Amino acid sequence: MVTKPQVKKGVARPRLVILGSGWASHSFAKVVDAVKYDVVIVSPRNYFLFTPMLASTAVGTIEFRSIVEPIRKANEFIDYFEATCLGINAQDQVIKCESVQKLEGESNVFDIPYDYLIVGVGASTNTFGIPGVEENCFFLKEIENARELRKGVITRFERANLPSTPVEEKKRLLSFVVVGGGPTGVEYAAELHDLVTEDMSKKYSKLIEHFTVTLVQRQNTILTQFDGVLQQSAMDNFKQSGINVITGADVVEVTPTAIHLKDGRELPQGMTLWAAGNGTQTLVQDLLNSIPEQAEARGRLIVDDWLRVKGAENVFAFGDCAAMESGALPPTAQVAGQQGAYLGRLFNRDYCLECELPYATAKPNSNVETIGMTSLAKPFQFLSLGIMAYIGEEKSMIQFEAGDNKLKLSGALTYLLWQSVYATKQVSFRSRVLVLFDWFKTKVFGRDLSQF
Amino acid sequence: MVTKPQVKKGVARPRLVILGSGWASHSFAKVVDAVKYDVVIVSPRNYFLFTPMLASTAVGTIEFRSIVEPIRKANEFIDYFEATCLGINAQDQVIKCESVQKLEGESNVFDIPYDYLIVGVGASTNTFGIPGVEENCFFLKEIENARELRKGVITRFERANLPSTPVEEKKRLLSFVVVGGGPTGVEYAAELHDLVTEDMSKKYSKLIEHFTVTLVQRQNTILTQFDGVLQQSAMDNFKQSGINVITGADVVEVTPTAIHLKDGRELPQGMTLWAAGNGTQTLVQDLLNSIPEQAEARGRLIVDDWLRVKGAENVFAFGDCAAMESGALPPTAQVAGQQGAYLGRLFNRDYCLECELPYATAKPNSNVETIGMTSLAKPFQFLSLGIMAYIGEEKSMIQFEAGDNKLKLSGALTYLLWQSVYATKQVSFRSRVLVLFDWFKTKVFGRDLSQF
């Protein structure tokens, strides 16, 4: 239940602390009235990352700097502290933070009191406790991951190219494996295949015969979010372009040189991307453990229709770390972005915090209902703008749901169109210009193969 | 003395091994006839780096990818192996190499026999054995260094911005020191000042009052390569824009938080770039130690006018690791680039290796002299295209020597003009397009302040 703001001594406005700088937080920061609230963002990452293009940057189709935006640019009236939240004291309404970068071997620990806390820390990568994954796999969540992948591919080719590397070892080094058939895994496999066939083939021509990409998926099909027809189409496309797809495969161990499957098969690997699903951040798990009302939560904070965390007063959550009580939404950028904007608008409405439930005056064309004397803000409703996946060779799959009809589009232009519609709201003009230039650059000059 | 090629078994053409992928090697690779020779480049870095713009990338004015070019692009007929040369066996004409990137904790060691060896490994940074430099300073030789600097500045600002950081510590963290008043040090100080005043001031406005840049120089003036008038002009410019210059200062120790000078002064530092001069690579030092004729060498391989290493048969050297017997040239990109092209042309000339000295047929307009029966290739002659330094706020200093006259130019357009003339020969069309776009990007959107 949202209560009256507890104005702390020396704090003129209620303080609103946001944890995280991803889709939900960024969207919230753009919308929230930072004059009405003392808004503070705490995140280890001082920039917003346009994650749908992360796989493209991991092979150099798009550059890293083109898909980031300093979080301070989202709203010039907010404060930002570069720190990790170590713990939440919901009783005293205070969080403990630690600076991220160690300087002279020391970090900096400090407390921040809050009136309202919004948790948007996202999810971690789930290794499912499978031995060897942590040590022997690459991941794709952050820019640093993408950079390691970009460098890692070149490293394998350079090593395979040495005169002392035997043929068997060349084959092993150039066996690229992707575990996970969701959008991240599929798009990286597609981008990697593009990189090698379009660019690396010219400079490492003798090695191309040894190159393989294998997509390992636990379920019987890939891109399960999509319609069956599209799933099959994606599989066919991969088959045609030479990407191996192994479905119904359970990984039981990853060693430095191989992937072991439950059925006894052993896949040689030179480099493996693990993109098999989301896990729970430690901070979220700690919070879940401390709230009895969250006993049935499955790794995500249960929130009501107004994004309030069940059992924790003045604590809200959105994005991948939150699950709506009325039905968990997929952990996507679209959901997070819409939740951020929704919560920002709720906080901006006058008197909304005086009512039993977030209140808003009914206006024409606003998404607010009026119920009797007490107005009730409309609960969060996700509006799907469609789902998209890049499947290589400039082909994309897009699925819109319009009533009972599922629309399917594909091709390079569609991709651009969809991206521009999708990206308009939350991506800066700068990013759009840079991404367009990157595409032009890749078309004209190819991807850069320098190793760093 | 250059002797007849020793054609090894199974090697149809004489093998020419080049160590390094810097200015000299890159220039050589572009010129050399890789059909006539079996050309192999061995270098830990698989790309050529346009070093004059490295300081610009270290603050984000220019992006890293814009100033690199895969070494394989220099000449599609050469082989490249990504490895470090561990040792040269000049007796048996074979080198020992080790792969750079460790995979599964292991590296790969292998031998390469050569007919001709060309050493172009450059120089290391000279710490002069001063305590604390290695551990507590940043350097600026490679892309990785530039990346650390770019991230390092943001890290200091983010740390200074934390609510728990006391004012004294903020001041210390934002005390940036540059040791060395040569082009690298001066340009980085200028670029850093640009970054902070033009871009960081907008997002970290409360911290700007604590920001300082101090240039520490051992000699009594900076940019000693330039004319006295220009040196003074650079000092005046720095003074005017608020960059402190301390001349005649000997650094005796660097601690994590301070620079200690010989006269007892202690300068607080949050981040220090060490750009105080060139040292000798281990490989070069080992080679020097093994050749009696190099006893008088001062950290650089003594070469004759045809770039042959004194006392080592079939070994050549160019760039920063070589010093002409007739008078050491400055360790600059210009010298290295010209030496590379010169040596490439020498190797390309028919029969040149049959003569006592490199031979070439005299042609009209060629830079070759004919002496009696035995033609003698013209010795290497450095043609200075002028020297340039960026001194901040879009001002550059350029000095040409035309006979006894020294010409001076300055301003943003001059900089572009000079860069384009200078860069035309060795920098790819791609790099020029990207650098121009980066300038446009910086002008329009400012430098990106995301921390990675």
- Considering only alpha carbons, which residue of chain B is nearest residue A147? B452
Q: What is the CATH number of domain B15-123+280-348?
A: 3.50.50.100
- Considering only alpha carbons, which residue of chain B is nearest residue A135? B104
CA distances from A301 to A320, A334, A352, A384 (A): 9, 18, 23, 22
Name the minimum distance, in Å, from the CA of B290 to any CA of chain A. 27
For residue A401, count other CB atoms closer than 10 A to its CB: 13
Report how far residue A86's alpha carbon sits from residue A5's, in angstroms, rounded to the nearest whole number: 24
A393-396 long-range contacts (CB < 8 A, ≥24 apart) are: A393/A190, A393/A193, A393/A194, A393/A237, A393/A241, A395/A237
Per-residue pLDDT at A439? 87
Return the percentage of chain B with pLDDT > 90, whole number: 73
Of A68, A448, A451, the CB nearest to B450: A68
Question: Does A257 contact B at CB distance below 8 Å?
Answer: yes
pLDDT tens for B221-241 read: 999 999 898 899 899 999 999
Per-residue pLDDT at A170? 97
| Cβ-contact B154, B172 below 8 angstroms | no
Of B99, B155, B270, the CB nearest to A162: B99
Report how far residue B445's alpha carbon sits from residue A406's, in angstroms, rounded to the nearest whole number: 40
Per-residue pLDDT at A364? 44
Q: If DSSP codes are grouped into helix, strand and coil, which group holds residue A57? A: helix
> Which of A51, A82, A81 lies closest to A68, judged by CA?
A51
Of A73, A99, A155, the CB nearest to B101: A155
Element (H, E) at A252: strand A251-254
Name the minimum distance, in Å, from the CA of A449 to any CA of chain B. 6
pLDDT tens for A102-117 read: 887 788 999 999 999 9
Q: What is the CATH number of domain B133-278?
A: 3.50.50.100
What is the ipTM, given to two decimal places?
0.89
Report how far residue A293's alpha carbon sits from residue A302's, in angstroms, rounded to the nearest whole number: 9
Beta strands A15-19 and A116-119 are: parallel
Q: What is the CA radius of gyration of chain A?
A: 23
Per-residue pLDDT at B359? 42
> Which of B179, B194, B275 lies closest to B241, judged by CA?
B194
- Considering only alpha carbons, which residue of chain B is nearest residue A431? B445
**pLDDT beyond 80 at B369:** no
Q: If DSSP codes are grouped into helix, strand and coil, which group holds residue B366? A: coil
Of A81, A162, A433, the CB nearest to B83: A162
Distance of CA A7 to the CA centre of its chain: 34
Q: Which two tokens stand for residue A401?
A: 């749901």
| Cβ-contact B176, B213 below 8 angstroms | yes
For range A263-279, the mean pLDDT: 96
Tell me the chain B residues in contact with residue A161 when contact means C-beta distances shorter than 8 Å.
Answer: 80-82
Tell me the chain B residues in contact with residue A104 when contact means C-beta distances shorter than 8 Å.
Answer: 256-257
Report how far residue A290's alpha carbon sits from residue B206's, in angstroms, rounded to the nearest whole number: 38
Name the minimum distance, in Å, from the CA of B254 to any CA of chain A. 13
Per-residue pLDDT at B3? 39
Q: Which two tokens stand for residue A159?
A: 């090593």
pLDDT tens for B406-425 read: 677 666 666 666 666 655 56
Of A256, A433, A448, the CB nearest to B104: A256
Beta strands B387-392 and B395-402 are: antiparallel
**pLDDT beyond 90 at A217:** yes
Of B45, B156, B450, the CB nearest to A47: B450
* Cβ contact, residue pair A162, B104, below 8 Å: no
The string of DSSP letters for A103-144 reads BTTB--EEEEE-SEEEE----EE--TT-TTHHHH-B--SSHH
For range B147-165, the mean pLDDT: 96
Beta bridge partners of A245: A215
**pLDDT beyond 80 at B118:** yes
Report how far residue A377's alpha carbon sits from residue A370's, in angstroms, rounded to the nearest whole number: 8
* Cβ contact, residue pair A155, B437, below 8 Å: no
The string of DSSP letters for B389-441 reads EEEETTEEEEEEEETTEEEEE-SHHHHHHHHHHHHHTTS-HHHHHHHHHHHHH
* Cβ contact, residue pair A108, B173, below 8 Å: no
Per-residue pLDDT at B208? 96
For residue B363, count other CB atoms closer than 10 A to its CB: 8
Per-residue pLDDT at B427? 81
**pLDDT beyond 60 at A211:** yes
| Cβ-contact B389, B223 below 8 angstroms | yes
Beta strands A94-99 and A79-89 are: antiparallel
Reported as a pLDDT band with limits 50, 70 and 90, residue B17 is very high
Q: Which has the minimum average pLDDT: A131-140, A278-287, B247-256, B398-407?
A: B398-407
| Cβ-contact B273, B279 below 8 angstroms | no
* Cβ contact, residue pair B65, A69, below 8 Å: no
Question: Does A159 contact B at CB distance below 8 Å?
Answer: yes
First-to-last C-alpha distance (Å) of chain A: 51
Report how far residue B265's alpha carbon sits from residue B251's, in angstroms, rounded to the nearest whole number: 10
> How confident is the prediction for chain B on average, in pLDDT?
88
Q: Which has the minimum average pLDDT: A307-311, B101-105, B302-306?
A: B101-105
Q: DSSP 3-state helix, strand, coil percentages of chain A (rounded to 5)?
A: 35, 25, 40
**pLDDT beyond 50 at A3:** no
Per-residue pLDDT at B415? 66
Q: Which of residues 280-319 of A touch B (CB under 8 A)?
A: none
pLDDT tens for A330-375 read: 999 999 999 999 999 999 985 454 444 444 444 444 444 443 334 5
Distance of CA A206 to the CA centre of its chain: 37
Mutual angle of helices B429-445 and A429-445, in 10-degree steps: 180
Tell me if the domain spanning A133-278+385-445 has CATH number 3.50.50.100: yes
First-to-last C-alpha distance (Å) of chain B: 51
- Tokens 């290794």 correspond to A127
> How confident is the prediction for chain A on average, in pLDDT?
88
Tell me the chain B residues in contact with residue A270 when contact means C-beta distances shorter than 8 Å.
Answer: 103
**pLDDT beyond 70 at B363:** no
* Cβ contact, residue pair B110, A452, below 8 Å: no
Mutation site for A-interface testing, chosen from B159, B429, B436 by largest number of A Cβ within 10 Å: B159
Tell me the chain A residues in contact with residue B162 when contact means C-beta distances shorter than 8 Å.
Answer: 81-83, 99, 108, 110
Tell me the chain A residues in contact with residue B83 when contact means C-beta distances shorter than 8 Å.
Answer: 162
Of B68, B163, B257, the CB nearest to A448: B68
Per-residue pLDDT at B149? 98
* Cβ contact, residue pair A452, B144, below 8 Å: yes
Amino acid at A324: M
Report how far residue A275's alpha carbon sits from residue A138's, in angstroms, rounded to the nearest whole number: 9
Question: Does A68 contact B at CB distance below 8 Å?
Answer: yes
Report how far residue B95's alpha carbon sits from residue B7's, in angstroms, rounded to the nearest whole number: 17
Per-residue pLDDT at B104? 78
Amino acid at A262: K
For range B279-301, the mean pLDDT: 96
Q: Which residue has the higher pLDDT, A429 or A80?
A: A80
Question: Does A101 contact B at CB distance below 8 Å?
Answer: yes
- Tokens 């992937």 correspond to A259
| Cβ-contact A173, B103 below 8 angstroms | yes
Three-class DSSP labels, B213-262 = EEEECCCCCCCCCCCHHHHHHHHHHHHHHCCEEECCCCEEEECCCEEEEC
* Cβ contact, residue pair A164, B451, below 8 Å: no
Question: Does A161 contact B at CB distance below 8 Å?
Answer: yes
Q: Which has the minimum average pLDDT: A60-74, B228-242, B358-372?
A: B358-372
Tell me the chain A residues in contact with residue B112 when contact means C-beta distances shorter than 8 Å.
Answer: 163
DSSP strands (E only) in A149-250: 175-179, 212-216, 244-246
Please give the CATH topology (third level) of the domain spanning A15-123+280-354.
FAD/NAD(P)-binding domain (3.50.50)
- B254 class by beta-carbon count within 10 Å (0-12 exposed, 13-18 middle, 19+ buried): buried
| Cβ-contact B279, B124 below 8 angstroms | yes
> Which of A186, A241, A190 lies closest to A217, judged by CA?
A186
Q: If DSSP codes are grouped into helix, strand and coil, which group holds residue A41? A: strand
Element (H, E) at A42: strand A38-43
Sign of CA dihedral A85, A89, A93, A96: negative
**pLDDT beyond 80 at A239:** yes
* Cβ contact, residue pair B452, A144, below 8 Å: yes
The string of DSSP letters for A294-316 reads GTT--SSEEE-TT-BBTT-TTEE
Per-residue pLDDT at B134? 96
For range B161-178, the mean pLDDT: 97
> Which of B123, B139, B112 lies closest to B280, judged by CA?
B123
Beta strands A405-409 and B47-49 are: unpaired
Tell me the chain B residues in contact with residue A154 when contact means C-beta distances shorter than 8 Å.
Answer: 46
pLDDT tens for B246-277 read: 999 999 999 999 999 999 999 999 999 999 98
Mutual angle of helices B333-348 and B23-31, in 10-degree steps: 30
Report how far residue B190's alpha carbon sits from residue B241's, in angstroms, rounded to the nearest whole number: 9
Tell me the chain A residues in contact with residue B81 when contact means C-beta distances shorter than 8 Å.
Answer: 161-163
Element (H, E) at A254: strand A251-254
Identical topology for domains A15-123+280-354 and A133-278+385-445: yes
Report how far residue B383's alpha carbon sits from residue A52's, in angstroms, rounded to the nearest whole number: 51
Q: Where are the domains of chain B?
A: 15-123+280-348, 133-278
Element (H, E) at B185: helix B183-195
Question: Does B106 contact A at CB distance below 8 Å?
Answer: no
Question: Does A348 contact B at CB distance below 8 Å?
Answer: no
Report how far residue B314's alpha carbon sits from residue B114's, in angstroms, rounded to the nearest whole number: 9
- Considering only alpha carbons, which residue of chain B is nearest residue A99? B159
For residue B362, count other CB atoms closer than 10 A to its CB: 10
Tell me the chain A residues in contact with residue B156 when contact means C-beta distances shorter than 8 Å.
Answer: 103
Per-residue pLDDT at B379? 87
* Cβ contact, residue pair A159, B108, below 8 Å: yes
- Considering only alpha carbons, which residue of chain B is nearest residue A43? B158
Per-residue pLDDT at B424? 59
Q: Which residue has the higher pLDDT, A392 or B88?
A: B88
Per-residue pLDDT at B194? 95
Per-residue pLDDT at B413? 66
